[in-house]
């Protein structure tokens, strides 16, 4: 991890990854984005690089709930249970509009819960809003 990661994006669906990256590019967001496509790998990355992450915190983690090996709720719970890593803001970006997923996400400490719009233009707008808020408006530690 030589350069600062602005966004840690944990998502396994390549179409969603490409669409999100396209939205960031379309909106001229210049950010260093680290993509991890597996829940188990995400936990390894977070905890094996803990010291470096704490020294140079990402501005936000964008986290899907449906991931291979470990799901997003497991990652969120582990992250927010760690005294040093829990300060990193986490945005759940998922296709699940299930109330129990929203309740668990907030119970485990998510900072925001966004249901991925199916419509292309609405998705692009949501990513634009997410980027503006978490990269420019929100002040991190």
pLDDT given at position 49 = 85
**Looking at the domain assignment, is residue 2 inside a domain?**
no
In this prediction, residue 12 has a pLDDT band, given cuts at 50, 70 and 90, of: very high
**8 Å CB contact between 139 and 108:** no
**Looking at the domain assignment, is residue 14 inside a domain?**
yes
R_g of the chain computed on alpha carbons: 14
φ/ψ of 62, rounded to 5, equals -100, 120
List, for residues 32-88, the tens digit of each pLDDT value. Answer: 899 999 999 999 999 988 888 888 888 999 999 999 999 999 999 999 999 999 999
**What totals of helices (H) and strands (E) does the chain contain, helices first?**
6, 5
Q: How many domains does the chain have?
A: 1
**Looking at the domain assignment, is residue 1 inside a domain?**
no
Domain that holds residue 98: 7-137
């Amino acid at each position: 991890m030589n350069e600062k990661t602005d966004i840690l994006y944990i998502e396994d669906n390549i179409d969603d990854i490409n669409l999100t990256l396209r939205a960031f590019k379309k909106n001229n967001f210049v950010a260093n984005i680290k993509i991890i496509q597996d829940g188990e790998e995400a936990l390894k990355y977070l905890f094996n690089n803990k010291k470096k992450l704490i020294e140079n915190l990402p501005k936000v983690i964008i986290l899907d709930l449906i991931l291979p090996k470990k799901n997003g709720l497991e990652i969120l719970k582990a992250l927010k249970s760690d005294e040093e890593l829990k300060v990193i803001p986490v945005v759940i970006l998922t296709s699940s509009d299930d109330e129990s997923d929203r309740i668990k996400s907030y119970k485990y400490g998510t900072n925001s819960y966004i249901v991925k719009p199916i419509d292309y233009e609405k998705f692009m707008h949501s990513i634009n809003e997410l980027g503006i808020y978490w990269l420019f408006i929100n002040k991190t530690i």
